[in-house]
């Protein structure tokens, strides 16, 4: 893995940061990309190459490195609102960040991967890439779209040694989920503790938040020696949510 170079988006915190550390532990040369320059500074202090970028500025993505062997699309945000009240500009923002941006990054890194005859694309999807939930129109739409994109890339990339997969966690202990507690409390008229128990964890058999490091372990699996025939898949880490 020491010969591989990875680009991880949403790398400053949560799942993205866990993926940076996990891949680096395997010897991968990691480029960490995020809009939060201050948080990236902590990774840079640890010797990780960092780039500050706004992934919703789609035309600027061409300035990011393309000599990438492993691409981890992890950046994401959430917006909680009923469809009839959902701000259209935020709907577009979420789709740019979580669907159009991964498409652009995949598109511009595939030629390098094809040239080397090896590549790994890992899209951090969600249980919401497989299931719907009220009040999350943009997030669910983006993740469902990401699932489809990932499968198309898997089919096209297979003859070139490139795999493409999704990782589908339920709620992970990240700043994104923490912020949801307050938003959902307002929507449902509950306390944040009640939101965690009665909304977020209600469909989950294993009643706990997932740790970012658990997601990163699946990412490492998808990039490791057993991954050559693992493509077009969605690896579900949802505590039994989709078992219903």
- Contact, 102 vs 123, CB < 8 A? yes
| Pairwise CA distance, residues 101 & 107, whole Å | 10
State pLDDT tens for residues 106-146. Answer: 999 999 999 999 999 999 999 999 999 999 999 999 999 99
pLDDT of residue 189: 87
Q: What is the pLDDT along the chain (244 residues), one digit of tens a residue?
A: 779 999 999 999 999 999 999 999 999 999 999 999 999 999 999 999 999 999 999 999 999 999 999 999 999 999 989 999 999 999 999 999 999 999 999 999 999 999 999 999 999 999 999 999 999 999 999 999 999 999 999 999 999 999 999 999 999 988 878 877 887 788 778 898 888 888 888 999 999 999 999 999 999 999 999 999 999 999 999 999 999 8
DSSP string, the chain: -TT-EEEEESTTSHHHHHHHHHHHHTT-EEEEEES-HHHHHHHHHTT-EEEE--TT-GGGGGGS----SEEEE-------B-GGG--HHHHHHHHIIIIIHHHHHHHHHHHHHHHHT-EEEEEE--GGGTS--TTBHHHHHHHHHHHHHHHHHHHHHGGGTEEEEEEEESSBSSHHHHHHHHHHHHHHT--HHHHIIIIISTT-SS-SPBPHHHHHHHHHHHHSTT-TT--S-EEEESTTGGG-
Diameter of the chain by CA atoms?
54
| Pairwise CA distance, residues 52 & 195, whole Å | 33
| Pairwise CA distance, residues 124 & 176, whole Å | 14
Q: Does 139 participate in catalysis according to the annotation?
A: yes
pLDDT of residue 184: 77
pLDDT of residue 149: 98
Chain-centroid distance of CA 14 in Å reads 10
- Which of these is catalytic: 93, 114, 139, 171? 139
- Strand order, beta sheet including 29-34: 49-52, 29-34, 5-9, 70-73, 119-124, 162-169, 234-237
Please report how many Cα atoms fall inside a 13 Å half-sphere around the Cα of residue 155, on the Cβ side: 5
pLDDT of residue 187: 77
Residue 211 tokens, joined:
């740790």
pTM above 0.85, yes or no: yes
| Pairwise CA distance, residues 207 & 40, whole Å | 32
| Pairwise CA distance, residues 13 & 129, whole Å | 21
pLDDT of residue 216: 98
């Amino acid at each position: 893995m020491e010969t591989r170079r990875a680009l991880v988006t949403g790398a400053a915190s949560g799942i993205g940061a866990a993926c940076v550390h996990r891949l680096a532990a395997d010897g991968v040369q990691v480029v960490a990309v995020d809009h939060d320059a201050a948080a990236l500074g902590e990774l840079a202090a640890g010797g990780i190459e960092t780039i500050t970028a706004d992934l919703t500025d789609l035309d600027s993505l061409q300035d990011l490195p393309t000599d990438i062997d492993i691409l981890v699309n992890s950046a994401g945000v959430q917006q909680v609102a009923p469809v009839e009240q959902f701000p259209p500009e935020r709907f577009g923002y979420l789709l740019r960040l979580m669907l159009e941006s991964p498409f652009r990054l995949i598109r511009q890194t595939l030629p390098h991967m094809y040239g080397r005859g090896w590549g790994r694309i890992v899209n951090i999807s969600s249980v919401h890439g497989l299931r719907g939930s009220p009040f999350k129109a943009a997030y669910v739409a983006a993740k469902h779209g990401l699932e489809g994109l990932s499968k198309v890339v898997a089919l096209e990339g297979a003859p070139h040694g490139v795999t493409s997969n999704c990782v589908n966690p339920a709620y992970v202990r990240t700043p994104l989920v923490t912020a949801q507690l307050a938003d959902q409390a307002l929507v449902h008229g509950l306390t944040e503790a009640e939101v965690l128990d009665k909304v977020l964890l209600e469909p989950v058999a294993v009643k706990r938040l997932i740790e970012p490091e658990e997601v990163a372990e699946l990412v490492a699996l998808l990039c490791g020696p057993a991954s050559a025939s693992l493509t077009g898949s969605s690896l579900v880490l949802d505590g039994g949510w989709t078992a219903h």
